[in-house]
Structure 1
Amino acid sequence: MASPPGVFLTGAVRHGKARRRRQNPAHEVHVGADAKSEPDNSSTHAQGVKRVEAITAVWSKKALWSTFVLLWLVSFVAAMLGSVEGALSPYITSSFDEHGLLAVISIAARIIGGVVTLSIGKIIDIRGRMEGFVGALLLITVGMVMKATCQNVETYAAAQVFYWVGNVALGFIIEVFVADITSLRNRMIIFTINSTPNLCTTFAGPVIAELFYYRANFRWAFAAFLIILLVFSAPVVGVLWFHERKAKKLGLIRPKSGRSRLESAKFYIIDFDGKFAPPWERAGAPASLVMQVAVRCQDANVTPVLGAILITAGFTLITLPFSLVSSATHSWESASIIVMIVMGVVSLVAFLVWEKYFAPVQFFPFELLKNRTVLGAAMTYFFVFLTTFVWDAYYGSYLQVVNGLSISISNYVLNAYSLTSYFTGPFIALFIRYNGHVKWPAMAAIPIYVLGTALIIHFRVPGPTWVLVGFSTGMLTTMSQLALMASVGHQNVAVAIAIYGLFGAVGSSIGYAIAGGIWTNILPSKLAEFLPDYAKDQAASIYGDITLQMAEPIGNPIRDAVIEAYGVVMRLMVIVGASLIPLLIAAVLIWKNINVKKLESGEKRARGNVF
């Protein structure tokens, strides 16, 4: 399904209480002053950053540009896989008679993907970019194997979670690595160039999906592209491994700790943030066993895991009922629906209380959100995804059922506005490079976005409206992402992109939840209302299978009833999306008026051979 560019994310956690007490709470980090503002890179938590800085110190210009090419190829294959997967998804769920669960599956996958990558961000900051890259490929492999072999919708839903987390993690790691090897002024040029494969995959992906669907099956599509992705990813791993070895030989990377594998596992699971001296040791006084256990449990850095579980459960339990309520026995009065919502709210409250009062190592880096530009940029991304996916979630099905388009043509149309974003992205990046300003160009894009989306309410067909929406979302996502990175130092880039991506994941999940709520609560009743009397008993089966919805030709009373029901639902979706867009104005207004040209001074010199 279509989505604005730049969906990827990561994260890291704030360090322990003792370290936070040593920091100036009013301290604000700025790119261009990395050496002054960032933590000591000898810290365990900086080893991943230190490794990539060591790599950029020893590689040549040729290696730098070769890496850009290799990353572009990986982005190309990953985008092709995503395009094929998105085109086939309605038919996979329909093969299990569960077409209506399309949004439900996406909600869970996107929330889990957004939250888990915060942990992935910490891992790559500690272990390194190469290890994170390999881990992301492993998750994609598990997801694709499960999809290729699934026999029920439950397995497919689980596979979607593995695939989506791996896909988001892969894209995020590529973005973090690109940020590592580019200066702030040139960064968006490479970011947007890495999105240009979508110019091809938008057209090729649906055709390939259609060929697999009719001439083989969706299982072979997933297997084939998984193998291709692994083959194209291997050279990237090789380049990073080779230059990391070279940096180690030159003494630019800290040698191994000397711990055994068991000791290392204990360190990373329990003592992730370093060992804190218990209060009784600092005071020189004995303590009871109970007190030792209590303080040790508080200081042990397994606490981020609990934070991750609570925030994932909270958002998932709150958003899923909107799509599941129509299948509940007593609708909104159903005990299961009420319990899910209540438990979701309780989980989010528990997350905030745990993070604020009990967790010595916080899962979510709240400190960065005190920077108004970071918060505003993240909220911008949140609202772009929220307002888009309200109407985009089922738009591919709408185009096929209502307009009679094929799999390939409908996905061309579905991706048209993303295509505009990817096409204009490099030109927007060049504008940033020579102009430097990001806030007011983003503000100027909002009225264009409102106009383009509002026109869809009336037309609900592609045309100039798609160009307007695509151009404006491309402006907003590019400007907001750069504003975010310009507000933090290199040490915190992974964390910042993580926050950005998490807000986008939650925004898209809420958009899917609203779409799923409208779809599952209104479409069945409208089908029953509009279907001719002799076909009303088929309403449930038609609702659950897109192939049945298209079984009759346009002009047949059953097909026309389905089209009329789709039209009512889609109009409501677009109205909701358009009405929420003005919230973007507040999100962009709180940004600082950053000029990235002025912030770049000295950055390249401090970080080695970068573009």
Structure 2
Amino acid sequence: MSSQEYPQQAPVNDKEINEKDTAVADPSSADSDIEKEPVHKQDGVSRVEAITSVFTKKALWITFVLLYLCLWSDSLMINTQYALEPYVTSAFSQHALLATTNVMSSIIGGVSKLTIAKLFDIWGRVEGFSLAIGLLVMGMLMKAACENVQTYAAAAVFYWVGHTGLQYSVDVFTADLTSLRNRGIMFGLNATPGIANIFAGPALAEEFLYKNGVVSEFGWRWAYGAFCIIIPVMASPVFASFFIHSRKAKKLGILPKRNTGRTLPQSIKHYLIEFDVLGMLLTSAAFSLVLLPLSLAGSQKDKWANGSMIAMEVVGVLCLVGFFAWEKWFAPVQYLPFKYLKDPTILGACVCHFAMYLAIYTWDIYLSSYLQVVNEVSVRDAGYILNSYSLSAFIMMPITGLVIRYYTKPKWIALIAVPLMALGTGLLVYFRHPGTNVGYITMCQILNGAAGGILSVIMPIMVMASVTHQEVAVVLALHSLFASIGSGVGVAISGAIWTQLLPGKLERYLPADLKSEALTIYGDITVQLSYEYGSPARDAIVQAYGEVQRIMVIAGAAFVPLVLLSILVWRNLDTRNLKQTKGTVF
């Protein structure tokens, strides 16, 4: 961005950080109810403040409802596709690659949020929202039409970038339309569509998947195709609301005009620098290449003796080193805003988000398969049990937001989540074995979900309370990036354990006449389910599943203490008198 348009933020030194910390952390000071704003604001921030200034109270609440409906359709989509995913990879006899496809999409989805955040601040909120919807629809179309697992993996990346971008967009819209004190309430309410959709999604997936009691070849394709229509239709009213009010602000002369004075080549060069495309590519390549071999090596003939696995690790590490060197010495505009990580509250919230997702995703990705194979439950019921985590979280989130409204020091509320998470994950170690009643697994899911719901509201509130409105979009993106890396690492660990251990255990426990079929059974959940429950073959599969899943849960439990340590470093911020937003807000 040129200095004539939006002056770049000056580097922040330790003195400036300490001054800002004092101003924000001490709500009793005379200036604590006034936002420490930069003299210049980027165009996206200025435009949204101009738009919200012409909102009436009625228009504000209509916009909240429209955003809620958009999240409702996204929630239904995500819960439906979670139930379908094992069957899509199994359609290509690559059930074990469930983890691999999720590693790529998680990492790239997280990295992309910082780019979307810059787009939000430089171009505008609606433009970023439009990009997210476009990428999501593209990914769903590719999933519906894919003919091999490679195309499906590429589609998963587009889909996940769009899906996380959509959720992130609504979070930023909500931040723009609320005061800091009430923001937790709206964040919590925005999660409640999941309460219905955790039941509707698996049931809808089952309706698409089965035809006359048999898995349909095209069922999951129709499901993805349907959401290519549903999502844009539900998002259209949000576009209309912001378009109408932007025209109103323009007529009143309060909407900033866009006139860069640059030619097309100059604009291309400008945005390549501003979005730090090289930094983004290096980050995506580094984490993907380091984590992918963990889930891929087990499916290779020579495992870690395969040269390509070692090469990916080496290149990934070199990309990571290159990224830090580029950002420190060469990047005109830094992609990763390191200055915010000097704030203990922002750093602690980011690490907490990373650890929470890491602990859960080390065992979550194969839970649906485990429930169907080991506990003999249907696709729908497996989805219900899996989503009991989400149900618990979605109930706790608005309650947490309401508590923050009246008890305005969120740090101490966050500490309540730690024993819930420790208990939920610890009990899973005991209950994750064949023969356990699914009720105990559901109980653990509920405990973990309650912890996740509390933290999911408080963590973004803490990072936003540490900055001005100008910086809200970028710190939310930074916070989300750590969650994506955490889930990527967790899924990679999960995939590594699954691919390294399950084939050998299947070969060990399967009857002699089926040992040659071990890899075929390993690669397809429909083949696993085809053996009658109680038969020697099914008993062997169940035993192998139980032993591998228990190791996964132990790995996840090892990261729970990091959640506690990361919360303890937060400053004890009081949200009561911190003012960020302008215009008509809640």
**Normalised TM-score (structure 1):** 0.89
Alignment partners' CA distance in 2, 1:439 and 1:356: 32
Are positions 1:609 and 2:584 aligned together? yes
Pick one of 145, 149, 152 that aligns with 1:149.
145
Aligned match of 1:344: 316
Map 1:434-513 to 2 at 5 A.
434-460=406-432, 461=438, 462-513=441-492
Alignment partners' CA distance in 2, 1:319 and 1:177: 33
* Identical-pair percentage: 45
Map 1:175-574 to 2 at 5 A.
175-215=171-211, 217-257=219-259, 259=261, 263=262, 265-272=264-271, 301=273, 304-460=276-432, 461=438, 462-574=441-553
Letter in 2 for 1:408: R
Are positions 1:102 and 2:104 aligned together? no
- CA contact 2:69–2:234 (8 Å) conserved in 1: yes
SS at match of 1:598: coil
- CA contact 1:304–1:359 (8 Å) conserved in 2: yes
- CA contact 1:28–1:371 (8 Å) conserved in 2: no
SS at match of 1:484: helix
- CA contact 1:140–1:163 (8 Å) conserved in 2: yes
Alignment partners' CA distance in 2, 1:176 and 1:264: 31
Distance 1:576 1:212, change over 3 A: same
Distance 1:587 1:18, change over 3 A: closer
After superposing on structure 2, the runs of 4+ consecutive aligned residues of structure 1 that deviate more than 4 Å are 15-18, 21-25, 29-36
Pick one of 575, 587, 609 that aligns with 2:554.
575
Alignment partners' CA distance in 2, 1:84 and 1:177: 25
Alignment partners' CA distance in 2, 1:69 and 1:21: 39
Alignment partners' CA distance in 1, 2:413 and 2:514: 53
- CA contact 2:429–2:550 (8 Å) conserved in 1: yes
* Deviation readout 1:146-172 (Å, 9 max, x if unpaired): 111111111111111101000000110
- CA contact 2:45–2:121 (8 Å) conserved in 1: yes
Distance 1:303 1:432, change over 3 A: closer
| 1:34 positional shift | 8.8
Alignment partners' CA distance in 2, 1:595 and 1:110: 33
SS at match of 1:562: helix
- CA contact 2:208–2:219 (8 Å) conserved in 1: yes
| 1:330 positional shift | 2.6
Alignment partners' CA distance in 1, 2:252 and 2:383: 51
| 1:513 positional shift | 0.3
In structure 1, stretches of 5+ residues that fail to align are 1-14, 273-299
- CA contact 1:209–1:221 (8 Å) conserved in 2: yes
- CA contact 2:12–2:339 (8 Å) conserved in 1: no
Alignment partners' CA distance in 1, 2:443 and 2:176: 37
Letter in 1 for 2:493: I
Aligned match of 2:435: none
Aligned match of 1:5: none
| 1:404 positional shift | 0.9
Alignment partners' CA distance in 2, 1:472 and 1:17: 39
* Deviation readout 1:178-215 (Å, 9 max, x if unpaired): 00000001001111111100001100000100000113
**Normalised TM-score (structure 2):** 0.92
Alignment partners' CA distance in 1, 2:489 and 2:14: 35
Alignment partners' CA distance in 2, 1:510 and 1:23: 31
| 1:465 positional shift | 2.1
Map 1:12-23 to 2 at 5 A.
19-20=10-11
Letter in 1 for 2:181: R
Distance 1:337 1:221, change over 3 A: same
Distance 1:127 1:34, change over 3 A: farther
- CA contact 1:303–1:359 (8 Å) conserved in 2: no
Pick one of 45, 48, 53 that aligns with 2:44.
48
Alignment partners' CA distance in 1, 2:584 and 2:167: 23
Alignment partners' CA distance in 1, 2:267 and 2:15: 27
Alignment partners' CA distance in 2, 1:413 and 1:184: 34
Alignment partners' CA distance in 1, 2:147 and 2:369: 23
Aligned match of 1:6: none
Letter in 1 for 2:585: V
Aligned match of 1:112: 108
Q: How many residue pairs get matched?
A: 560
- CA contact 1:445–1:472 (8 Å) conserved in 2: yes
- CA contact 2:33–2:577 (8 Å) conserved in 1: no
Distance 1:58 1:376, change over 3 A: same
| 1:599 positional shift | 2.5
Q: Select between 137-146 and 247-256 the one with higher mean Cα deviation.
A: 247-256
Pick one of 124, 130, 137 that aligns with 1:128.
124
Letter in 2 for 1:181: L
Letter in 2 for 1:531: L
- CA contact 1:303–1:360 (8 Å) conserved in 2: no
Alignment partners' CA distance in 1, 2:533 and 2:35: 67
- CA contact 2:32–2:577 (8 Å) conserved in 1: no
- CA contact 2:11–2:339 (8 Å) conserved in 1: no
Distance 1:402 1:23, change over 3 A: closer
Are positions 1:80 and 2:72 aligned together? no
In structure 2, stretches of 5+ residues that fail to align are 1-5, 25-30, 212-217, 433-437
| 1:79 positional shift | 0.6
| 1:17 positional shift | 8.1
Alignment partners' CA distance in 2, 1:463 and 1:313: 37
Alignment partners' CA distance in 1, 2:166 and 2:92: 29
* Deviation readout 1:546-591 (Å, 9 max, x if unpaired): 0000001210111110000000001000011112101112111110
Distance 1:508 1:319, change over 3 A: same
Alignment partners' CA distance in 2, 1:225 and 1:308: 29
* Deviation readout 1:277-307 (Å, 9 max, x if unpaired): xxxxxxxxxxxxxxxxxxxxxxx82671111
Alignment partners' CA distance in 1, 2:376 and 2:97: 22
Alignment partners' CA distance in 1, 2:494 and 2:9: 45
Alignment partners' CA distance in 2, 1:116 and 1:90: 26
Pick one of 167, 170, 176 that aligns with 1:174.
170
Aligned match of 2:28: none
